[in-house]
Structure 1
Amino acid sequence: MPLRIGIDTGGTFTDLVVADGDRVHAAVKSLTTHGDLPRGTLNALAKAGVDGGEVERVVHGTTVALNAILTRRGAEVGLVTTMGYRDLLDMGRAWRPWEDALIDPRWRRPHELRPIIERHRRRTVPERVRADGETVVALDEDHLLAEVEKLVADGCESIAICFMHSYKHPGHEQRAAALVRERFPQLSVSTSADIAPFPREYSRFCTCVLNAYAQPLMDTYTAELEARLKESGYTAPLMFMTNDGGLIAPEQATARPVTTLNSGPVGGVMGAEMYARRLGIPNLVGFDMGGTSTDVAVVADGRASTERELELEHDLIAGIPVLEIHSIGAGGGSIASLDAAGGLNVGPESAGSNPGPACYGHGGTLPTVTDAFLLLGMLDPKVALGGEIPPDVDAAERAYAALGDQLGTTAGDLAKAVTEVAIHNMAEAVRQLTVYRGSDPREFALLAYGAAGPLVATQVARTLHMPRVVIPALAGVFSAFGLLGAKVFEEEVIPVMQTATDELAAEVFGRLREAGARLGTSAGLADVHLEFRLDGMYAGQRSELEALVDPTHADPLAHIREMFDAAHRRQFGYTLPADVFISTVRVRAVEAAAHEVLPTELSAREEGRPKGARDIVIGGDPHEAVPVYEVAALAPGQRIAGPAVVEASSYTAVIGDGDVAEINSVGDILVDVREA
């Protein structure tokens, strides 16, 4: 049977999962090779031992575009915009962070301090279309080309074209793009109407500019990855995961790299939705602790929550639909340090994979969370980290002793404190998407994945009074696993920008039905099903929320109200009596083929016995001779009482004192957590 491959390139490891039909065939981790990312992918493929000729699809999640933006290593970009809007990027949304900027006269916005586009590369042209579509000022084509000529002479290799009201009336942008591409074929060109056809001028401008900034780098990366895969015998189609859980072809990823910014973590959320369906646990909190960060996502009633923008830095946003993921700088590579007042910080700075934590033995000297796990016995000093790195316990000890001397404490006690701070930070990240939204975490199970997630999952759950932890069989490569469940889709966006009334609702549903009929036959997919989505808000709110709707419903307005109320209640815990304001509606044609994947079934056997024991510190409490099990030796239905350690090829799970874990038929670990 043809194979499918999911590849997630993270900040520390590149994870790869191979599916044979609906079963996992292989799963591996390999170090991410910064400076030559395709090499890390090829290393993982070689490690998996897959014959390229047997592969039918390769699905990739990558942070290439995201890292280019965050590190300001993107292209030389110029902006062409409507006269009078040159400084919109620096103005942002005209609000400041409360904590550190409200009354500071010296504070500057991130785009002012580290601009994506310098002011002299932001050029304006005479043109203006009103919101109702009336052309007030015709596009001055000669002026446009003259301004782009200056940008090219100044070294620009990518151009963003952003005009007022083009989300609904894109004619001027389309004409400008055609003229620029004809005169300057060497340039990459992004238009806001194509990249982000949504209202809100700043959001649309910023999204288009970020796209233009990342486009040349993504183009180079995609071309190189495709070429090197083909050289190695992998000729199957390469697909990229998008921020909202779909798949796009390389040419689409190159044209719209901004749609891939969060594609790696999104794979984990897709996997969480699969697990919610498979285990019959509709409410899950995805908890992904990797080498660089911890990502938290909520699946409620079987669906992941979504949002309409991804904020990369303060007021630096990608204003397109994205599965909601809250990230904090608390991963295995997070560095422990002291602040100006002598307090202990954990993250957000990370040691990454080069040099990595001190225990990697690659020259790192700063204490990290992974070093703490090793010193506390949570990780086995005799087992290679990620299957590739023999841990250097002495280096970890030296790193913690150096910081401990500054605090007047021992390396071991400092490692306990660092772990406690990290767990507190992670629990707070979960509260952000549950408690502070009106949801009770006690009604959710914690789905722990990432190489380090299962190490602390029961401690985080106990802090939040969550009754159950689920550790997937492929927890260490779960985001790559989730990529395999994604589907190709195409979408059409229809701007509305009006308060819902009976007349408007009927008109909108009619337009949705027409668009659905059109898209269903033109999407280029053999078999599709249609999804209809509404982006709206209660009158007086400022942020849209997505709701699924059925445009064949007999009472459109009542149906819109019912579905939007349900979506708002699911995400925020309450509803309002206010009218529903519709921003946009969207039609999505999704391939109908099922891509659900399961880990390999465990064979029936006698219950496995511990392979050994070691001393370990859990929740600050020392435990002697804690039994250590291997997942591969456990039997379906076997129960394990904590404290215990369970090891797999890509992760280590720590079961707390008083917790009870049960192994299911495919090797997932279901833990009943003792109440704190």
Structure 2
Amino acid sequence: MSLRLGCDVGGTFTDFLLHDTDTGEITTLKVPTTPAAPEEGVMEGLATLSQQKPGLMSDLTALIHGTTLVINAILERKGAETALIATEGFPDILETRREIRYDIYDIRQEFPAPLVPRRRRREVTERILADGSVETPLDEQQVLSVLRDLIDDGVTSVAVCLIHAYANPAHEQAIARLVREHNLPLDVSLSSDVLPEIQEFERTATTAINAYVRPKVNVYLGRMEEGLARDGYARPLFLMQSGGGVIAAPAARAAPVRLAESGPVGGALAARTLAETAGYRDAVAFDMGGTTAKTCLIADGEMPVTRAYEVDRVHRFKKGSGTPIAVPTVDLIEIGAGGGSFASVDAFGLIRIGPESAAADPGPACYGRGGMRATVTDANVLLGYLNPADFLAGAMQLDVKAAEEAIARDVGTPMGLTPLEAAAAIIEVVNENMAQAARMYVTERGGDLEKAAMVAFGGGGPLHAHQVARKLGVREILIPEAAGVFSALGFLAAAPAYEVARSRPMRLEDVTPELLNETFAPLAAEADAIVSQAAPGAAIIHKRIAEMRYVGQGHQLRVPLDALDRASIAKAFAETYSAAYGYSYDDLEPEIVTLRLSAVADQPTAPVTGDTAVTDGGETTREAWDPTTGQMATHRVLPFSAVSDVITGPALLSQPGAMVLIGKGARAERKAGGWLALTLEDNT
């Protein structure tokens, strides 16, 4: 038996998907996340699966894990006591940033507080020039004094980011050597390891994040591996990266900054595959969970990987108002609009949803675990969309009365609405919030919603997709089997991969194939070593990329390099530039700033489609809210797996961990791959 398990730790639930590659059988499970110690929720879920599948842990051939630990540590400021060591004269890069105003009309604009406070930023005497030559040697005695002083101040982790270390890492490596030789109790992150690239602010911020979260990730993964070994799992633990590839735990420990968006990325990868199977090259992945909702635009079948990703934004839609994570990351938008998001009335008498969430502890009021504030899930229960007796496949009984009381207290009474009216208003507002965020995100990236399909998944995605799609003008929604744990399935559909880079500025006129190969060779060796940890013996495919711009510009574009001669590179750059801006220049000289190499293991991965096997399931009816009439209406209710023909709305289809809403006038058909194609015939 060949068993592979995907595990996605979210803010509210931890999702599991077990795939038997021999038979194609899929087993799913959702358990509440344990925020204080996420590994405990993982182990509890594994214990439950082991009861269903005796001998599971010893039979598993792979366990691939995605986690919100990194992003939560950043947002909640729960990382290590971290210091920054910088070149003399450059301690304040985290605050001077790029000296660019993200809103030229806001004279009081704010930025997120630096992860490293000013009192823990230290300077050392040294200087390396842009060509890698040493102008001022490193004062090692001064470094030792600085390190010991930081230890006395309670620091446990240090980010080392020296000027031009991407060109010559010798001084940063010397600081790491001093820590080892003197057995100092410090975890050290070097910018020349984490991000050996031009742009001081991005390099410093990314290295500081890595240092801030690495001790916590080390402890977390250590406990996970100990628990897995104790329960009989003898193989490596794998993790999903923000950029879409799978790596082994040792590589994740070294660069945990690459795990910031590891959970949502799995769903986006699976959504791309499902959309392509359904005949769509353009798709919008819509993932609504318990804490947040995520949207990712897939254009022409390509995942939108960027190194200009930001976290902890002060303003949700204003680029530059957050902290950059300049490692490869799938570009998506995430807003505080999940099932557990709080609903309230603001000072203007308007309904406000999120960004605060009840998460897993205490959870929405209807969970009966001490939560008192109204949430989106409470509204869905009151409107009849969720069956109180069959939530999470019967694993949890929902308290309708508690939901009604919370909604009446927090929204209904302040606005003069009945609890039912207040619940309907909550759902309308959260749907509009998600549609507005998705519309702006897609527009900024040049997407065309009219030719794109929406792939809806997550615990709340299939329930809210109909109304969100109508607001966006999307005509077709694809809903997969196991939609509630689709991100975990995406982990199994991802190949081991790793991307490395080096900044090596050169004008195109100076480029030769020999010069490029000289840089790509060590990059390939570095990336192959990481990929081989996750896929021993597998063939590895390389993709070469250049970040290019015209001489004098300040931003680069990713240009795929299929050939290394000057003419081919110039043509590829002109095409990429024209695609981004609508034109290119004949009289400006291109230059290469950074060279990147992506290594991907060539090995089979799990499919994201199943079959149309129809199971027996009794059809019933339930009263649920119809937004087109503004009142309760009779909905057909049947299991997703029991669908064998075309269904017209209004109807509700139940999956383990998710509920699908087919609105009035919509038409749904189960396809050969097992997914549901929902067409919005009434979309105007």
TM-score (norm 2): 0.92
- Which residue does the alignment assign to 1:656? 663
Contact 2:548 2:557 in 1 (8 A): yes
Change (3 A) 1:86 1:620: farther
Contact 2:364 2:372 in 1 (8 A): yes
1:244-287 deviations in whole A, cap 9, x for unaligned?
01122212212211111110011111112221333232111000
Change (3 A) 1:262 1:508: farther
Query: How far apart in 1 are the matches of 2:491 and 2:6?
Result: 5
Change (3 A) 1:613 1:341: closer
Deviation, 1:381, is 2.6
- Which residue does the alignment assign to 1:73? 78
Query: How far apart in 2 are the matches of 1:582 and 1:532?
Result: 13
**1:627 correspondence with 2:628:** no
Specify which of 591, 597, 618 is matched with residue 587 of structure 1.
Answer: 597
**1:351 correspondence with 2:366:** no
Change (3 A) 1:508 1:301: farther
- Which residue does the alignment assign to 2:423? 415
Residue type at the aligned position of 1:624: A
Change (3 A) 1:303 1:341: same
- Which residue does the alignment assign to 2:497? 489
Query: How far apart in 1 are the matches of 2:628 and 2:77?
Result: 39
Deviation, 1:521, is 7.0
Query: How far apart in 1 are the matches of 2:400 and 2:425?
Result: 18
* Structure 1 range deviating more: 224-233 or 334-343: 334-343
- Which residue does the alignment assign to 2:116? 117
Contact 1:283 1:444 in 2 (8 A): yes
- Which residue does the alignment assign to 1:281? 280
SS in 2 for 1:647: strand
Change (3 A) 1:479 1:157: same
Residue type at the aligned position of 2:144: L
Query: How far apart in 2 are the matches of 1:90 and 1:399?
Result: 42
Contact 2:167 2:503 in 1 (8 A): yes
Residue type at the aligned position of 2:223: E
Query: How far apart in 1 are the matches of 2:552 and 2:661?
Result: 47
Specify which of 604, 613, 617 is matched with residue 622 of structure 2.
Answer: 613
Residue type at the aligned position of 1:13: F
Query: How far apart in 2 are the matches of 1:288 and 1:468?
Result: 16
Query: How far apart in 2 are the matches of 1:556 and 1:509?
Result: 13
- Which residue does the alignment assign to 2:440? 432
Structure 2 residue runs without a partner (length 5+): 313-320
Contact 1:372 1:418 in 2 (8 A): yes
Residue type at the aligned position of 2:188: V
Change (3 A) 1:342 1:616: closer
Deviation, 1:536, is 3.3
Deviation, 1:619, is 5.3
1:305-326 deviations in whole A, cap 9, x for unaligned?
1111331123422111111111
Query: How far apart in 1 are the matches of 2:431 and 2:553?
Result: 34
Alignment of structure 1 residues 150-549 onto 2, 5 Å: 150-313=149-312, 314-385=321-392, 387-402=394-409, 403-499=411-507, 501-504=508-511, 506=513, 509-511=516-518, 514-515=521-522, 518=525, 524=532, 525-526=536-537, 527-537=539-549, 542-549=554-561
Deviation, 1:198, is 1.7
SS in 1 for 2:146: helix
1:517-570 deviations in whole A, cap 9, x for unaligned?
7568756342111111223346666444433321356832344225524xx73x
Residue type at the aligned position of 1:426: M
Query: How far apart in 2 are the matches of 1:598 and 1:236?
Result: 24
Query: How far apart in 2 are the matches of 1:340 and 1:109?
Result: 25
Residue type at the aligned position of 1:109: F
Change (3 A) 1:386 1:167: farther
- Which residue does the alignment assign to 1:21? 21
Query: How far apart in 1 are the matches of 2:524 and 2:553?
Result: 33
1:376-412 deviations in whole A, cap 9, x for unaligned?
1121233224753211111111111112111122111
- Which residue does the alignment assign to 1:89? 94
Contact 2:243 2:265 in 1 (8 A): yes
Change (3 A) 1:619 1:247: farther
Query: How far apart in 1 are the matches of 2:602 and 2:176?
Result: 35
**1:38 correspondence with 2:42:** no
Change (3 A) 1:261 1:605: closer
1:588-629 deviations in whole A, cap 9, x for unaligned?
2211102132444232689x7733333333356335211112
Residue type at the aligned position of 2:643: L
Structure 1 residue runs without a partner (length 5+): none
Change (3 A) 1:580 1:478: farther
Query: How far apart in 1 are the matches of 2:554 and 2:647?
Result: 49
- Which residue does the alignment assign to 1:603? 613
Residue type at the aligned position of 1:61: G
Contact 1:509 1:551 in 2 (8 A): no
Query: How far apart in 1 are the matches of 2:324 and 2:119?
Result: 22
**1:57 correspondence with 2:62:** yes
- Which residue does the alignment assign to 2:147? 148
Change (3 A) 1:98 1:341: farther
1:458-478 deviations in whole A, cap 9, x for unaligned?
111111111110011111001
Contact 2:298 2:304 in 1 (8 A): yes
| Aligned residues between the structures | 662
* Structure 1 range deviating more: 8-17 or 618-627: 618-627
**1:645 correspondence with 2:644:** no
Contact 2:274 2:609 in 1 (8 A): no
Residue type at the aligned position of 2:60: V
Contact 2:520 2:595 in 1 (8 A): no
Contact 1:516 1:530 in 2 (8 A): no
Residue type at the aligned position of 1:289: M
* Structure 1 range deviating more: 353-362 or 490-499: 490-499
SS in 2 for 1:78: strand
* Structure 1 range deviating more: 419-428 or 444-453: 419-428
Residue type at the aligned position of 1:345: R
Alignment of structure 1 residues 546-561 onto 2, 5 Å: 546-551=558-563, 555-561=567-573
Deviation, 1:343, is 2.1
RMSD: 2.4
Deviation, 1:498, is 4.2
**1:8 correspondence with 2:8:** yes
SS in 1 for 2:496: strand
Contact 2:513 2:564 in 1 (8 A): no
- Which residue does the alignment assign to 2:317? none
Change (3 A) 1:519 1:277: farther
Query: How far apart in 2 are the matches of 1:56 and 1:44?
Result: 18
* Structure 1 range deviating more: 351-360 or 546-555: 546-555
Contact 1:241 1:248 in 2 (8 A): yes
Alignment of structure 1 residues 569-580 onto 2, 5 Å: 569=579, 574-577=582-585, 580=590
Contact 1:308 1:544 in 2 (8 A): no
Query: How far apart in 2 are the matches of 1:344 and 1:59?
Result: 39
Change (3 A) 1:71 1:386: farther
Deviation, 1:230, is 1.1
Residue type at the aligned position of 1:639: V
SS in 1 for 2:274: helix
Query: How far apart in 1 are the matches of 2:342 and 2:563?
Result: 51
1:22-76 deviations in whole A, cap 9, x for unaligned?
7343111111112221221122223333411111111000111221121111111
Change (3 A) 1:641 1:344: same
Query: How far apart in 2 are the matches of 1:203 and 1:481?
Result: 32
Query: How far apart in 2 are the matches of 1:546 and 1:55?
Result: 38
